[in-house]
């Protein structure tokens, strides 16, 4: 398989030109090269693997529709990732219903048996892995999960998050703080349950 990471600009331009001419092998090369990474990105925005797959599929459709807009200024992978993030956010917006604000957020009382201070850390005896964190994030509301993903994983500023999600900077900061606090409580509860404590 061709290493897209080490392609020079001329090789990448040739590959993209072939995709624009509907060359299936070139399109498949891009799809196969970035599929797993983009699935990891999209899984952070939904608790459901089938929904994550749908988001990735929609994202790649947008990638191929908009290839002529790639300007070769930044990394190609970063450009694809941004499209996937925007597709995931669009998906969660569509999924959001009028009752989400009240009913989708799991009540924090569910985790109230664990006192977690703002500066508390998960104890070292609990070995956390990416799957633990993803499972914990799936219990966050869409609003908290989206802000957490954009701030922590995509390195957006609160102003960029506010612009992207059409919320205030204060709401972005508040949702991030609540997401972190809830995630700690969720993870501690799950880890203690797993370890029988």
Integer Cα distance of 25 and 1 in angstroms: 11
Res 31: pLDDT = 94
Q: Residues 121-148: pLDDT tens digits?
A: 555 555 566 677 777 888 898 899 999 9
Residue whose token pair is 């624009």:
20
Walk me through the domains of the chain, giving residue ranges and CATH numbers: 4-95 (1.10.1740.10), 100-194 (1.10.10.10)
Assigned token pair, 90: 């669009």
Does 74 have pLDDT greater than 90?
no
pTM to 2 decimal places: 0.73
Q: With 0-12 CB in 10 A as exposed, 13-18 as middle and 19+ as buried, what is 62?
A: middle
Average pLDDT, the chain: 81
Residues of the chain with pLDDT > 70: what percent?
Answer: 77
pLDDT of residue 108: 37
Q: What are phi and psi of 127, to 5 degrees?
A: -85, 105
Residues 135 and 137: their CA atoms lie apart, in Å, by 5
| Positive or negative torsion for Cα 49, 82, 57, 162 | positive
pLDDT in tens, 96-127: 643 344 444 444 333 333 333 444 455 555 55
4 vs 48 pLDDT, higher one: 48
């Amino acid at each position: 398989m061709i290493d897209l990471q080490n392609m020079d600009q001329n090789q990448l331009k040739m590959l993209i030109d072939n995709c624009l001419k509907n060359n299936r092998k070139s399109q498949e090369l891009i799809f196969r090269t970035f599929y797993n990474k983009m699935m990891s990105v999209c899984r952070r925005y939904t608790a459901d693997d089938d929904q994550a797959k749908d988001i990735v599929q929609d994202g790649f459709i947008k990638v191929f529709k908009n290839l002529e807009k790639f300007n070769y200024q930044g990394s190609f992978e970063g450009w694809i990732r941004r499209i996937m993030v925007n597709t995931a956010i669009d998906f969660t917006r569509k999924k959001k219903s009028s009752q989400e604000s009240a009913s989708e957020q799991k009540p924090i009382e569910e985790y109230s048996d664990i006192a977690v201070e703002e500066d508390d850390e998960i104890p070292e005896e609990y070995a956390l892995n990416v799957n633990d964190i993803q499972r914990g994030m799936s219990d966050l509301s869409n609003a908290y999960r989206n802000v957490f993903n954009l701030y922590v994983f995509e390195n957006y500023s609160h102003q960029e998050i506010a612009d992207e999600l059409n919320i205030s900077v204060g709401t972005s900061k508040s949702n991030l703080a609540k997401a972190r606090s809830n995630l700690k409580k969720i993870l501690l509860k799950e880890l203690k349950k797993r370890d029988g404590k």
